[in-house]
Chains A and B, each alone.
Chain A
Amino acid sequence: NAGVTQTPKFRVLKTGQSMTLLCAQDMNHEYMYWYRQDPGMGLRLIHYSVGEGTTAKGEVPDGYNVSRLKKQNFLLGLESAAPSQTSVYFCASTPGETQYFGPGTRLLVL
């Protein structure tokens, strides 16, 4: 039982490049979330999903897209990376109350 895993752990992008962050959970949770953490800002919700095939915008969705084609996976895409998207990205899942987080993906956009 691996819990919540994230791929990759670290990535450097050039401005304008695209990439996809993968989140996987093996706990059969319905709800999944993508957050970004920036210094002094706490964790801010980017997008979330309340079930397979559904997605919704969070607090800071601009510049990101998501997909939940399978219940266990939640993908976060950056179509054209910008330096403002330099951050640490966390994925989380929950069956209803307590959210369980992955280890994070550190992204640097030059």
Chain B
Amino acid sequence: DQQVKQNSPSLSVQEGRISILNCDYTNSMFDYFLWYKKYPAEGPTFLISISSIKDKNEDGRFTVFLNKSAKHLSLHIVPSQPGDSAVYFCAASRYGGSSNTGKLIFGQGTTLQVKP
């Protein structure tokens, strides 16, 4: 059972336009969500996160939106740059639980290509 899903394996956008990456989850107990970016032959690097008490978090060109009722989050990149071309993973966790282990559940990833 895939608790975190990224239904779009790939996305291609033009430089300067907006990139929107989507992620859905099924477990209503998740209370913390993260986006990671991964370049080939490197480990994932943390990009941005959001707690379930918020519905939006911004960091420069990156904004994450959380819709708890729809169990959906999205990552917006504006404006997109060629250097943003990478695989993006969303992840979810239950940090508020009494037995917090810090475990993350990852989606399958979306490959973003930003064309010059």
Whether B43 contacts A103 by the Cβ 8 Å rule is yes
Whether B101 contacts A56 by the Cβ 8 Å rule is yes
Contacts A40-B108, A42-B106, A43-B89; is A98 near B34 (CB within 8 Å)?
yes
Grouping DSSP codes into helix (H, G, I), strand (E, B) and loop, the B interface class, with mixed when no group exceeds half, is loop
Q: How large is the interface on A (under 10, 10 to 19, 20 to 34, 35 or more residues)?
A: 20 to 34
Say yes or no for B16: interface residue by CB 8 A criterion: no
Whether B101 contacts A102 by the Cβ 8 Å rule is no
Neighbour of A94 across the interface among B41, B42, B102, B108, CB < 8 A = B102
Whether A50 contacts B108 by the Cβ 8 Å rule is no
Whether A101 contacts B108 by the Cβ 8 Å rule is no
Which residues of B sit under 8 angstroms from A99, Cβ to Cβ? Answer: 34, 46, 102, 104
Whether B44 contacts A42 by the Cβ 8 Å rule is no
Which residues of B sit under 8 angstroms from A50, Cβ to Cβ? Answer: 101-102
Contacts A90-B44, A96-B95, A104-B41; is A33 near B108 (CB within 8 Å)?
no
- How far, in whole Å, are A64 and B8 apart by their CA atoms in the complex? 31
Instruction: Tell me the chain A residues, 54-110 only, with Cβ under 8 Å from chain B.
Output: 56, 58, 90, 92, 94, 96-104
Which residues of B sit under 8 angstroms from A45, Cβ to Cβ? Answer: 103-104
| Nearest opposing residue in chain B for A101, CB measure | B43
- How far, in whole Å, are A35 and B104 apart by their CA atoms in the complex? 10
Whether A4 contacts B106 by the Cβ 8 Å rule is no
Say yes or no for A41: interface residue by CB 8 A criterion: yes
Which residues of A sit under 8 angstroms from B12, Cβ to Cβ? Answer: none
| Nearest opposing residue in chain A for B9, CB measure | A40
Which residues of B sit under 8 angstroms from A4, Cβ to Cβ? Answer: 43
Which residues of A sit under 8 angstroms from B49, Cβ to Cβ? Answer: 97-98
Could you jot down 29 A-B contacts, CB within 8 Å?
A31-B101, A31-B102, A40-B9, A41-B108, A42-B106, A42-B107, A42-B108, A42-B109, A43-B106, A45-B103, A45-B104, A50-B101, A90-B43, A96-B95, A96-B100, A96-B102, A97-B32, A97-B49, A97-B95, A97-B102, A98-B49, A99-B34, A99-B102, A101-B43, A102-B43, A103-B41, A104-B41, A104-B42, A104-B43
